[in-house]
A and B are shown apart, each in its own frame.
Chain A
Amino acid sequence: MTQPFLSIRNLRKAFGAITAVHDVTLDIPRGEFLTFLGPSGSGKSTTLYAIAGFQDPSSGDVLLEGKSLLAVPSHKRNIGMVFQRYTLFPHLTVAENVAFPLRVRRRPEAEVKKKVADMLALVRLESFATRLPGALSGGQQQRVALARALAYDPPILLMDEPLSALDKKLREEIQAEIRRIHRETGVTILYVTHDQEEALHLSDRIALFRDGRIEQTGSGEDLYLRPATDFVAGFIGNSNFLAAEHLDTSDGTATIRLADGSVISGVRANGTFGRGEKTRLMIRPEAFGMERSPASAELNVEIVDVAFYGERRRIVARTAAGEGVDIRPTSAAMQSQDASPCSRQVFFDPAAAFLFPA
């Protein structure tokens, strides 16, 4: 069996009576971009700090190439980290900031010079070398922090919500930078965020945290298209939940009855349900279409309002049973004159609908 590059084993961290991380186990291969995604207080940052060595876990272990990191103090772990807030050393120039980790490692001056130049080129801030951090924008500061964290070629780069202080446009720009740098350097990145879009754009794999545990690990596509739990379905992307009565399951697909009495078969069952058991059917707003296709199921709704969102329209609708439904067809799929309140049928592929426990 090949040894995982970085391995988190049964990590648990309690602060007094509060347990921030319950039991996290995760293997990360070399070169992966893995994101810890989850709401605040779900234990993702605490897990990251345990890897950085800022917090000692209550139990469990963190192994790098099979060797435990726990006895190694932070400054000897050789890990790179970019923080949530701008942590540039305010009295040092950009170049001196990037040189700092090399200087404390007593590297020869020529090597330091070369590495600083390389790193500033990597984050495209060569012309800012002699500036002080105070003269830089937030986005530039985080790019310098990134250069500093990579200057000593750490095998792992930790990023703790590094973009949360930036505005949306800047955030997208730096996300692209981070992807490029990951590609060019091949460094293993552990990235913490509560922003699902950011996680989907950036990561090879996402570990979704909830209440100190990992709810599901997988690629963004996995989490979006094949959510393991209703929490995952609710956290990643948008979703409608409709009350449903389970009738029968075979080969992982179920037949259910909705509150308006319509029977739908072929939906994916997440779990095993008894006959007549109350369940919830999850359908993504984007999964609805306005035209019938051979495999599609139908849903009778009353359209309350239609709003134009650019590439998509957003329809606020209600089922006969009074449940709200969010529908987002592409703008091209629907004429704007259809916007008047009316009753009509909308269609969806049952294979893209998931059944969860109530």
Chain B
Amino acid sequence: MSVETRRNFGTVRLPAGFNGLLPALVLIVLFFVIPVLALLLRSVTEPEPGLQNYAALLGDGTYARVFFNTFLVASVVTIVTVLVAFPVAWMLAIMPSALASIVFGVIILSMWTNLLTRTYAWMVLLQRTGVINRTLIAAGVIDQPLPLINNLTGVTIGMVYIMLPFMILPLVGTLRAIDPMTLRAAALCGASPFQAFRRILLPLSLPGIAAGGLMVFVMSLGYFVTPALLGGTSNMMLAEMIAQMIQSLLNWGLGSAAAFILLVVTMALYALQLRLVGARRMSGGI
């Protein structure tokens, strides 16, 4: 039967049209689109009309540092997450299902555990007198406790921990979709395992890596909780700065302008991601 007949099948009898979207659209337009647009408006009207908030944000060295830090942290987190996630996803894609379900269980447990709970655990683990420093000192690896918290190291560990499931799970899907035959064929063609990895496996999984990596990068850019708790004052990230501008300084104009810059960057990367994988695939990849 043709695609066309299939499509017309239900629409004639059931008004399976637009109506069902109305409640969702009302909710999103009224309580998402309008508030965000109102915020944008505030960024060019407060304290007075004009672009001075943006000029201040982009012209000032302190703010530039925050932007730089944000991109640095997001980049480092993304790279580390990809490097750690790939081998795990690779194994998960091919290991016996009984074993895989244990690993999946651990991943889900970590993912579903309350965000603050996980961050709290890292705060305790990473502190000067925390388990990690004590263990390392007891083992004789170091003499002085390492500064693991309130700096870039702490943020990276905490963020990679949170982002790993978001990278591993979609990547397993990508790797499972690769036909093992292609790699057997590569071996018969004379490719060494390293060549087969570099020329076949890696290129075939690249779309998944790019999509997942971009998602992790976007999520990291706007992350608030973990950097606020594990990061230091000297390497503040954008989301924390926005929250501070609004909550402590009550500077709505500057805060909204910073929020809008974050929004534009995020949405641009999101659009790139959609082009890479398509909205349909995205939504299937939870």
Contacts and interface: CB of A to CB of B under 8 A. Distances in A.
Contact of A15 (B1, B8, B13): B8
Interface in B1-49: 1-2, 4-5, 8-10, 12-13
A15 B4 contact: yes
A84 B2 CA distance: 13
Contacts of A160: 1
A49 interface: yes
Contact of B5 (A49, A53, A56, A73): A49
A45 B9 contact: no
Nearest to B8: A55
B2 A55 contact: no
Contacts of B9: 49, 54-55
A319 B12 CA distance: 56
B255 to A, nearest CB: 51
Nearest to A13: B5
Nearest to A18: B4
B13 A45 contact: no
Interface residues of A, number: 16
Interface residues of B, number: 9
A140 interface: no
B12 A45 contact: no
Contacts of B5: 15, 20, 45-46, 49, 55
Contact of B2 (A41, A53, A56, A74): A41
B15 to A, nearest CB: 13
B13 to A, nearest CB: 6
A84 B4 CA distance: 16
Contacts, number: 30
Nearest to B5: A46
A160 B10 CA distance: 17
Contacts of B13: 53-54, 73-74
B48 to A, nearest CB: 56
A96 B43 CA distance: 62
Contact of B12 (A18, A41, A54): A54
Nearest to A56: B12
Nearest to B7: A15
A356 B223 CA distance: 77
Interface string A33-54: 0000000110001100100011
A54 B13 CA distance: 7
A174 B5 CA distance: 27
Contacts of A54: 8-10, 12-13
A40 B10 CA distance: 21
Interface core residue of B2, B4, B5, B13 (most chain A CB under 10 Å): B5
Contacts of B8: 15, 54-55
Nearest to B12: A56
Contacts of A55: 5, 8-9, 12
B227 to A, nearest CB: 46
A212 to B, nearest CB: 12
A160 B2 CA distance: 13
Nearest to A52: B9
A110 to B, nearest CB: 32
A45 B1 CA distance: 7
Contacts of B2: 20, 40-41, 45
A45 B5 CA distance: 9
7 contacts: A20-B5, A40-B2, A41-B2, A54-B8, A54-B9, A54-B12, A84-B1
Nearest 6 A/B pairs, CB to CB: A45-B1, A15-B4, A54-B9, A56-B12, A46-B5, A55-B8
Given A15-B4, A15-B8, 16 more contacts: A15-B5, A20-B2, A20-B5, A40-B2, A41-B2, A45-B1, A45-B2, A49-B5, A49-B9, A54-B8, A54-B9, A54-B10, A54-B12, A55-B8, A55-B9, A84-B1
